[in-house]
Structure 1
Amino acid sequence: MLLLNRTHRFSLFRADKSPQWLKSLVVFLVVCAGFLASMVIAPTAHAERIKDLANIQGVRSNQLIGYGLVVGLDGTGDQTTQTPFTLQSTLNMLQSLGVTLPPGTYSQIQLKNVAAVIVTANLPPFAQIGQNLDVTVSAMGNAKTLRGGTLLLTPLKGADGQVYAMSQGNVVIGGASASANGSSATINQLNAGRISAGATVERTIPNNLLGMEMVSLELRSSDFSTASIVTAAINKRFGKPIAFAQDSRVIQIDPNTVENGNRVQFLAALESIDVIPAKGEAKVILNARTGSIVLNQTVELENCAVAHGNLTVVISTTPVISQPSAFSNTGNTVEAKVSQVSLNQDPGNVIQLAGGASLSDVVRGLNAVGATPQDLVAILQAIKAAGSLRAELEII
């Protein structure tokens, strides 16, 4: 507690004779005021970059696929009698290398160290000739494992049939297996591996993004509110109405009106703009196989009542032995079965849900009356059909 007498109060008007304790008090009050001001400031809403909300039309990857052979396997390759395409591919490869076998020897060839595989890769946007790509190698025959194998030169084609990359290298398998005395153990997958930097780009994909008059921004989730917010943020950032929303997903942008003519810098500044997206549509995801329930936000319900009860049918069968009378010369021992059927129905439980209740309250109440995950799926479907669930119900 601080007490001020008349002398001290009078000294407030005399800066040259202010006591030291008064100066310390002023500093203390200033610090307290700053602390209280920081306490009352409302927390800022979480903002996301446009880069995380949308994609630039034309900037995308392309899938590549190829068919090849993996050699050098330790007897774990394809069985040629069951996979004739492996033998045919090997013969074609040998012929291309100048090795020709007599036709009568085809049936004698056993290729236990060779496996036919499918090679896949993703060609990133703006990939240049000579750039390296990671590839995935997957067995397509009955090979036991690709461990220790080497992928031979394999062309990778796009959807148009053109070769865009060539792949070759040692396959790395992340699994392991062991066997002894008829017992075996396997860890992870042995028939698929990866080659880091295992492909080289040989052809580029034409891209006219830098020469386009308009740049199209595609939202990853269609939403009119988010499209409007992003459009307003872009126009505010560049100080001109250069963007307009075409629909709930596509936003058209005119970069030619910006003073800086560098298209790359413009797109970099565009992707770095922070926006607060609109709250998404209320949605409830139900997994009918596992009974899992996932919701993306608080879901409110209208007034409704849910009744839940169990009907149990129990059938028990008891064997009964029937024997003939003592000292009887006729009759045989007979085994008969007697079945008893009982029907048990538990009293129904009714829960009342008031308007504005959240989905978590509903699930908690249903669990309280003994509803199983499968029951929750059926009950939520019924609530949605009754019009009391304010959310989109999606079953996967």
Structure 2
Amino acid sequence: MRNLDVLIIGAGAAGLMCAIEAAKRGRRVLVIDHAKKPAEKIRISGGGRCNFTNLHCSPANYLSENPRFCVSALKRYSQKDFLALVERHRIPWHEKTLGQLFCDDSAQDVINMLLSELNGAGGKLQLETSVSAIEPQAGSAGFLVQTGREELTAASLVIATGGPSIPKMGATGFGYDVARQFGLKVLPPRAALVPLTFSDSNKELCKRLAGVSVDAVVSFGKTSFREGLLFTHRGLSGPSILQISSYWQEGKPIVVNLAPETDVFETLKAARQQSPKQDIRTALSAILPKRLADELAQEHKLSGRLADLSDKILRRAGDAINRWQLTPVGTEGYRTAEVTIGGVDTKELSSKTMEASKVPGLYFIGEVVDVTGHLGGFNFQWAWSSGHAAGQFV
């Protein structure tokens, strides 16, 4: 039996950050993970270059039943703090759109940085280690954890196992099971930052347009995002769709503006004056990619010379492009979801320490908690911030 001060289950972004901070305080720290390699989500993120944080990170970029829960951790360890760590390790980086920061070379640079920090602080990492049982330690504070290799005891136990998104990487609902075992409430999880799927004519339309992308504003209720939209064989994807998927509610429509810089009705009216003999499909192709213009014209039965078309028909064309309303039948699910919404109820945790109020010594950090960021580096920042917060107290 090995005795530890801190046992962290999950060698991802949050778990490694927590381990680093705890080890710096002189704690005996072990991180375990069932995977063969640490930080697989870091490795595949950002097309292999890791969108490790966002310059504009703030509580407004997070969804939670308690929107204020993330404030404390984000304030105490911000995007500037993590960027300073990246620069201290001389990792070259660049900013893309909307404040997103990426490695110039490889996501492996961030993983190597975290492992170097962990080793330097005296923390230990053990991979290919599965957990079969967790119990309160009899007769004293702390926990007894049975793994496939050995029994471990720890005064503090940190659950950093994420959610069930991307199961091919070994993601599971393990953290939720631990929370429920100790009597903590878990809010129903669902896939987030995920492509939307459709049925019937909309599915067929998307299939015919697979590969076409446009800049678009996608809205659900009062929430809107303007970023790229991509047609796929299953439905719609791209950053704007992934963003709205976190807000979308089953059975309700989304609204898509395929030409956010253009009032299509007014543009077509002007074209009717200037080029009355022009075919409406030609006019629409000046606004949208030709494949998309042709498909929408066919879908909405738009044809003929502009001179022969009434305002009513031109307005119908404008609505089809500026206010395209369609109802998804679902999402692609955890298979392609970048993150999970829901998880351990923040009412059960201290926003300062991430410790469970009912179970002293038990902590939950990262994606397993009901805090979900927007696309663009915000979820990694939550991992760094929540891991850092717990690392000061475990």
Is the pair's TM-score, using the shorter chain for normalization, greater than 0.5?
A: no
TM-score range, shorter chain: under 0.3
Q: TM-score, normalised by structure 2?
A: 0.21
Query: Which of structures 1 and 2 has the larger relative contact order (alpha carbons within 8 angstroms, sep 6+)?
Result: 2
Please state which structure has a larger fraction of its residues in strand: 1
Greater share of helix: 2
